[in-house]
Chains A and B, each alone.
Chain A
Amino acid sequence: MPTHTFKLNGKQISVEAEDNVRLLWVLRDLLGVTGPKYGCALEVCKSCTSHINGKAFNPCSVQVKDIEPADEVTTIEGLPATVGKDLHPMQEAWLKYDVAQCGYCQPGQIMAAVAKVKQARAEGRDITDADLDELRNICRCGTYSRIREAVKAGAEDMGA
Chain B
Amino acid sequence: MPNTSESPSGAGELAVAPAFAAIACAYARATGTMPTYFPINHGKLSFEPLPVQPSTPQSPTDGLDHTF
A64 nearest CB across to chain B (Å):
11
- Whether, in the assembled complex, B61 has its beta carbon less than 8 Å from a beta carbon of chain A, the answer is yes
Most buried by A among B62, B63, B64: B63
For chain B, the count of residues having a C-beta within 8 Å of the partner chain is 11
Chain A interface helix/strand/loop/mixed: mixed
Q: How far is the CA of A142 from the CA of B30 in the complex (A)?
A: 36
- Whether, in the assembled complex, A88 has its beta carbon less than 8 Å from a beta carbon of chain B, the answer is no
* Binary contact readout B53-68 vs A (1 if CB under 8 angstroms, 0 otherwise): 0001101111110111
- Whether, in the assembled complex, A1 has its beta carbon less than 8 Å from a beta carbon of chain B, the answer is no
Q: Please determine whether A43 and B68 come into contact, CB atoms closer than 8 angstroms.
A: no
Kindly identify which residue among A42, A55, A115, A119 contacts B59, using a CB–CB cutoff of 8 Å. Answer: A42
Q: Please determine whether B61 and A57 come into contact, CB atoms closer than 8 angstroms.
A: no
Q: List 30 A-B contacts (CB under 8 A).
A: A20-B61, A22-B59, A22-B61, A24-B59, A41-B56, A41-B59, A42-B56, A42-B57, A43-B60, A43-B66, A52-B67, A55-B67, A55-B68, A56-B68, A57-B64, A58-B63, A58-B66, A60-B59, A60-B60, A61-B59, A61-B60, A61-B66, A62-B61, A62-B63, A62-B64, A63-B61, A66-B61, A115-B68, A116-B68, A119-B68
Binding site for B on A (CB under 8 A): 20, 22-24, 41-43, 52, 55-63, 66, 115-116, 119, 134
Given contacts A61-B62, A66-B64, could you give 11 more A-B pairs where the C-beta distance is less than 8 Å? A22-B59, A43-B59, A43-B63, A55-B68, A57-B64, A57-B67, A59-B63, A61-B59, A61-B63, A63-B61, A134-B68
